[in-house]
Chains A and B, each alone.
Chain A
Amino acid sequence: MRRRSNILANLDWITIILYFTLVFLGWLNIYSAVYNEEHQSIFDVTQRYGKQLIWISASVFLIFIILFLDVKFINAFSYIFYAAGIIVLIMVLFFGKEISGSKSWFHIGSFGIQPSEFTKFVTALALAKYLSSYNINLQNLKVLFNTLIIILLPALLILLQNDTGSALVYFAFFLVLYREGLSAKLVVAGITILTLLVLTLLLNKFYIWGGLVLVFFILLFFIKRNFSNISKLFLLLLISASLVYAINYSFNHFLSPYQQKRINVLIGKDIDIRGAGYNVHQSKIAIGSGGFWGKGYLSGTQTKYDFVPEQDTDFIFCTVGEEFGFVGSLTVIGLFMLLLLRLVQLAERQKSRFSRIYGYGVISLILFHFTVNIGMTIGIIPVIGIPLPFFSYGGSSLWAFTILLFIFLRLDSFRSQLL
Chain B
Amino acid sequence: MISQTYSSRKYGIIGIIVLIGLVYLTRLFLLQVPKNSYKLSAENNILRYITEYPTRGLIFDRTGKLLVYNEPAYDLLVVPGQLSDFDTTELCGLLNIDPLDFSDKLSKAKKYSNYKPSIFLEQISQEDHAFLAEKLYKYPGFYVQARSLRKYPYNTAAHTLGYIGEVTKNEVESDVYYQSGDYIGKSGIEKFYEKALRGEKGLSIKIVDVYNREKGAFREGIYDTAAIAGKSIQITLDADLQKYGEYLMQNKIGSIVAIEPASGEILAFVTSPTYDPNLLVGRIRSKNYTILSKDSLKPLMHRAIMGTYSPGSTFKIVNALIGLQEQVLYPDTKYDCQGPNSRPIKCTHFHTTPLELQGAIMHSCNPYFWKVFRSIINKPTFENTEAAYNNWKNHANSLGFGLKFHTDIPFELRGNIPASDFYNRIYGEGRWNSLTIRSLAIGQGEILVTPLQMANFTAIVANYGYYYPPHLLKSIIDQKESNNNYRQKQTTINKKYFSLIVKAMNDVVDMPHGTAYWVRIPDIPVCGKTGTVENPHGKDHSTFIAFAPKDEPQIAIAVVVENAGYGSTWAAPIASLMIEKYITKEINRKWMEDRIANANLLNRNEEKK
Contacts and interface: CB of A to CB of B under 8 A. Distances in A.
Contacts of A284: 31, 38
Interface in A319-349: 321-322, 325-326, 329-330, 333-334, 336-337, 340-341, 344, 347-348
A273 B45 CA distance: 13
B570 to A, nearest CB: 67
A330 B31 CA distance: 13
B513 interface: no
A35 interface: no
A135 B9 contact: no
B210 A307 contact: yes
Contact of B28 (A306, A326, A353): A326
B65 to A, nearest CB: 52
Contacts of B205: none
A20 interface: no
B10 A179 contact: yes
Contacts of B14: 341, 344
A325 B39 CA distance: 12
Interface stretch (A46-54, A221-229, A373-381): A373-381
Contacts of B209: 304-307
B33 A292 contact: yes
B21 interface: yes
Given A306-B209, A341-B17, A291 B33 contact: yes
Nearest to B39: A289
Given A285-B42, A301-B42, A302-B46, A333 B28 contact: yes
Given A274-B81, A307-B46, A287 B17 contact: no
Interface in A361-419: 363, 367, 370-371, 374-375, 378, 380
Nearest to B7: A348
B39 A291 contact: yes
Given A301-B42, A375-B24, A378-B27, A321 B32 contact: yes
B177 interface: no
A290 interface: yes
A344 B25 contact: no
Interface in B9-45: 9-10, 12-14, 16-18, 20-21, 23-25, 27-29, 31-33, 36-39, 41-43, 45
Q: Could you say which interface size class chain A belongs to?
A: 35 or more
B219 to A, nearest CB: 12
B17 A337 contact: yes
A274 B110 CA distance: 10
Nearest to B17: A340
B32 A181 contact: no
Q: Could you say which interface size class chain B belongs to?
A: 35 or more
Contacts of B29: 326
Interface of B is mostly: helix
B556 interface: no
B4 interface: yes
Nearest to B83: A274
Counting chain A CB atoms within 10 Å of each CB, which of B21, B43, B46, B211 scores highest? Answer: B21
A291 B24 contact: no
Contacts of A179: 6, 9-10, 13
B32 A353 contact: no
B208 interface: yes
Contacts of B16: 175, 367
B2 A353 contact: yes
B7 A287 contact: no
A217 interface: no
Contacts of A374: 24
A137 interface: yes
Contacts, number: 125
Contacts of B9: 178-179, 181
A117 interface: no
Contacts of B31: 284, 287-288, 321, 378
B2 A305 contact: no
B1 interface: yes
B84 interface: no
Contact of B46 (A273, A305, A321): A305
Contacts of A12: none
B10 A348 contact: yes
A91 B43 CA distance: 48
B138 interface: no
Contact of B13 (A306, A307, A363, A380): A363
Contact of B36 (A286, A288, A307, A322): A288
A333 B215 CA distance: 33
A258 B10 CA distance: 39
A274 B10 CA distance: 43
A361 B177 CA distance: 64
Interface in B147-197: none
Contact of B32 (A137, A302, A325, A341): A325
Contacts of A367: 16-17, 20
B44 to A, nearest CB: 9
A408 to B, nearest CB: 15
Interface in A152-203: 175, 178-181
Nearest to A281: B41
25 contacts: A178-B12, A282-B45, A285-B45, A287-B38, A288-B36, A288-B39, A288-B42, A290-B32, A291-B32, A301-B45, A301-B207, A306-B209, A307-B210, A321-B28, A326-B28, A329-B28, A333-B21, A340-B17, A344-B10, A360-B13, A367-B17, A374-B24, A375-B24, A378-B28, A380-B24
Interface of A: 135, 137, 175, 178-181, 273-274, 282, 284-292, 301-302, 304-307, 321-322, 325-326, 329-330, 333-334, 336-337, 340-341, 344, 347-348, 353, 360, 363, 367, 370-371, 374-375, 378, 380
Given A179-B13, A330-B25, A337-B21, 15 more contacts: A282-B45, A284-B31, A286-B42, A287-B31, A288-B42, A289-B43, A290-B32, A291-B32, A292-B33, A302-B46, A307-B46, A321-B28, A329-B32, A340-B17, A370-B20
Which 6 residue pairs are nearest across A and B when measured between Cβ atoms? A288-B38, A289-B42, A305-B209, A326-B32, A329-B28, A285-B41
